[in-house]
Amino acid sequence: MGHDHGHTHGMTATGRHRNRLIAVLGITLAVVLIQIAGGIVSGSLALLADAGHMLSDAAGVFIALLAAWIASRPASDLRTYGYQRAEVLAALANALVLIVISVVIFIEAIRRWGSEPEVQTDIMLYAAIVGAVANLISLLILRSAQKESLNVRGAYLEVLGDLLGSFAVIAAALTIMFTGLHAADTIASIIIAIMILPRAWHLLRDVVDVLLEASPKGVEVQMIREHILSVSGVVAVHDIHIWTITSGVPVFSAHVVVEDELLSAAGADQVLDKLTTCLGSHFDTEHCTFQLEPASHAEHESHQHA
């Protein structure tokens, strides 16, 4: 006997915070234009590197918004979960773009090493300060939402990296201004490139976990097993599977062996209600699928999974 509770294919986590992403996208694009102009006029590679990083962030936010719109399309017989995993693919693209940007910045910084071109530090400094302020505002906008969505988290981490990058540019501008060490601009560029990689790696790792259908973070299969076994009438549980369709959409399924007499319509319904309530209250999983099996049928089951 199979049963499914909680078919909620509604708005995804990214979709719920769409307005925040739109606001951050507008702020980021405005700062990119300012920093590109400032980098060209001042001759600062660090400022151009920070602008390139912010441009990749803007592209990432745009991809996340596009994916959220695609993911909101209804499910069909062909795609029973709809397009919700489009958000995960967008996060994957975002991580790969970050890696490419980092490599390009690093190569250009190495190419310029030792040449020490003239840099107009006043323009460089003002543009970097504008970027830092804008990034602080964007961080505050995304702070509460980044815990719910991979794409919002990706945008949050990118903005945080941008803020650190702006601080690096400010430090480089002040160093050149007071010491005349023009190599500080190239050093700041390398620092920005290095800062991007760990964040891209963490985002990529989270995406791979979702695509490989790993158990959601913080969920322990053994603890779930114990909770299910604590339900009255449950004899055993096997073939437990826990995975994530996209951010904020965990899914659970299991074969639950119950006492034979409980498989009447009323008894089965009571067991299913208790199991669903248990999973929903302890593990925040609304989409639960249980296959109820009589204890006498256990010998016919091949237990190949948890």
State residue 158's pLDDT score.
74
What would the two tokens of residue 128 be?
A: 């970097």
- In order of their start, the domains of the chain are 13-211 (1.20.1510.10), 215-300 (3.30.70.1350)
Q: Could you give the CA distance from residue 261 to residue 153 in angstroms, rounded to a whole number?
A: 48
State residue 55's pLDDT score.
80
Q: Which residues of the chain have pLDDT under 50?
A: 1-10
Q: Could you give the CA distance from residue 261 to residue 59 in angstroms, rounded to a whole number?
A: 58
State residue 266's pLDDT score.
66
State residue 280's pLDDT score.
66
State residue 283's pLDDT score.
65
Q: Which of 204, 284, 297, 292 is nearest to 242 (CA)?
A: 284
State residue 133's pLDDT score.
92
State residue 296's pLDDT score.
66
The CA distances from residue 256 to 116, 155, 234, 260, 306, in Å, are 69, 40, 7, 12, 12
State residue 284's pLDDT score.
60
Looking at every residue in the chain, the average pLDDT score rounds to 77
Residue 189 host element (H or E)? helix 183-211
- Crossing angle for the helix pair 150-179 and 45-71, nearest 10 degrees? 170
Predicted TM-score (pTM) of the model is 0.66
Give exposure, 129-151, as e/b (b: 16+ Cβ within 10 Å).
ebbbebbeebbebbeebbebbbb
pLDDT in tens, 154-183: 778 778 878 888 888 899 889 988 888 888
